[in-house]
Structure 1
Amino acid sequence: MEEETISLRELFAVLRKRLSMIVIITVLATVISGVVSYSFLKPVYQASTQILVSQAAAGSLASIAGMSFDNDAKYIETYNVILKSPYILDQVVKELDLDTTAQGLNNQVNVTQQGKSQVVTIAVQNHDPAEAVTIANEIAKVFQREISALMMIDNIHILTPAELPENPAPIKPQPVLNMAIALVVGLMASVGIAFLLEYLDNTIKNEQDIEKLLELPVLGTVNTIELEDGKSTKKSTTMNSKRGAKVEV
């Protein structure tokens, strides 16, 4: 069984043949992405505050001498869990009278430790930039207040409170990035569709298709036949050297 090979020239021929379809699909995907990003997706803003886990626990000299940086790092892992717990977030929702639940607020909050430092960042995402700032600061305040009762320590300090900038910029959506992704995806999809259509198309359109199908040279063709009534037919008869076979296209 002979293996079929496709040359680069044939590949470019397929792309050139379906060029209009490829351009239309690519442009359409890019335009749709832009319209959705600019008109339908609500902008999301982010505000963040930072808290410092100091080495002074319970404010005593004994604690200062006995607590090391490694111990504080272990405490930070626990703090990160407590910060997003319903115990803290329920109080934030209640005190700010938010139209959400602790679980809903949890989805808006992200708590991260800055490297291996003792600084923890509380980031809040919201459609309202002012509300994002208020929530971030309130979470830090509630946590600072409640951690003393939970763990009998007082080593949390608000390092940098969240502030509302004059011209807040949303972190998402990013229309330009979305359109660029849509352009690439649309281009890849349209090229794939072009090759799929070419693979599924097994009709005979010209002499080259006949030569390729029968693997025989074409002897002659009749392109147009004039009829008695003056009309013409576009039926073309091609003859090849295989038993005088005729193929109509």
Structure 2
Amino acid sequence: TLISMIVTGLVSYFLLTPEYKSSTQILVNQTKEDESVYNYNEVQTNVQLINTYSVIIKSASILNNVRSDLNLDISLSDLNKKITVESAQNSQIMTVSVIDPDPSVALQIANKTAEVFENEIKDLMQVDNVSILPLADDQENQAPISPNPTLNIAIAAIIGLFIGIGLAYLLEYLDNTVKTEQDIEKLLNLPVLGAITIIDQNFEAKAKGGKNGRMRGIS
């Protein structure tokens, strides 16, 4: 267990590259002149469009513009893996998140992806119902989302404990050495008539010395 915890701690702190996550949010909602009018059908249409928008955001046409605008030296496939699009059920808000070892790069990709999508969707689907929600500016100073050394060490402790217990039972099961009288009876199929105990020589010497001392005292 201790070895597992130490190795996991060293790997988490010194070998794994920290990764940071930045996000931006996109509101899917048709602009209205009269904001007081609530049209349920329009809202449902916007919600249903989010599934389509989630695919378009990670399409090659959008990501290619993001890569060229930011001068990123990565493939479209690698850029696609960095980006995730999420939306709560029946929500008109999409969250575009980017994970990268550099927090500033993650924030730039997230913002640029949302910006390119907002511009391109007008031509792709002939709609104007997308707007970017402002987010906090301190995302570059956030802590890394991975690795999580504390969680990794805790998991390693549990795994190491189970491995240690299993190894102990395995060694005990494979151990065929003779240790007790019962082992002898089982091995030879003969009864044990007696046992000779081991006498400590130092104890025997002390016992003799004490006896001689008492005898001298009597004489």
The answer to whether TM tops 0.5 is yes
Higher relative contact order (CA 8 A, sep 6+): 2
Q: Report the equivalent of 1:184.
A: 158
Q: Report the equivalent of 1:218.
A: 192
Decide which of 40, 43, 57 is 2:15's aligned counterpart.
40
Q: Report the equivalent of 1:74.
A: 48
In structure 2, stretches of 5+ residues that fail to align are: 199-219
**Partner Cα separation in structure 2 for residue 166 and residue 136 of structure 1:** 12
User: 1:162: Cα distance to partner?
Assistant: 6.0
**Partner Cα separation in structure 1 for residue 71 and residue 91 of structure 2:** 34
User: 1:70: Cα distance to partner?
Assistant: 1.8
User: 1:209: Cα distance to partner?
Assistant: 1.9
Per mean C-alpha deviation after superposition, the further-off stretch among 195-204 and 162-171 is 162-171
Q: Aligned pair 1:150/2:124, yes or no?
A: yes
Decide which of 131, 135, 144 is 1:170's aligned counterpart.
144
In structure 1, stretches of 5+ residues that fail to align are: 1-25, 225-249
Are the aligned partners of 2:13 and 2:149 in contact in 1 as well (CA < 8 Å)? yes
**Partner Cα separation in structure 2 for residue 195 and residue 183 of structure 1:** 18
Deviating above 3 A after TM superposition, structure 1's stretches of 4 or more consecutive aligned residues are 64-67, 164-167, 211-217
* Structure with the higher fraction of residues in helix conformation: 2
Are the aligned partners of 1:47 and 1:124 in contact in 2 as well (CA < 8 Å)? yes
When the two structures are superposed, what TM-score results if normalisation uses the length of structure 2?
Answer: 0.81
Per mean C-alpha deviation after superposition, the further-off stretch among 164-173 and 124-133 is 164-173
Aligned to 1:80, the other structure's residue is in SS state helix
Q: Report the equivalent of 1:98.
A: 72
Decide which of 10, 22, 27 is 1:52's aligned counterpart.
27
Specify the code of the residue in structure 2 equivalent to 1:35: L
**Partner Cα separation in structure 2 for residue 167 and residue 66 of structure 1:** 40
Specify the code of the residue in structure 2 equivalent to 1:169: A
Report percent identity of matched pairs: 47
Specify the code of the residue in structure 1 equivalent to 2:65: Q
Specify the code of the residue in structure 2 equivalent to 1:42: T
Give me the CA root mean square deviation.
Answer: 2.4
**CA-to-partner distance for each residue in 1:199-218, whole Å, 9 max, x for gaps?**
11122222132245567652
* Structure with the higher fraction of residues in strand conformation: 1
Decide which of 147, 152, 159 is 2:133's aligned counterpart.
159
Q: Report the equivalent of 2:5.
A: 30
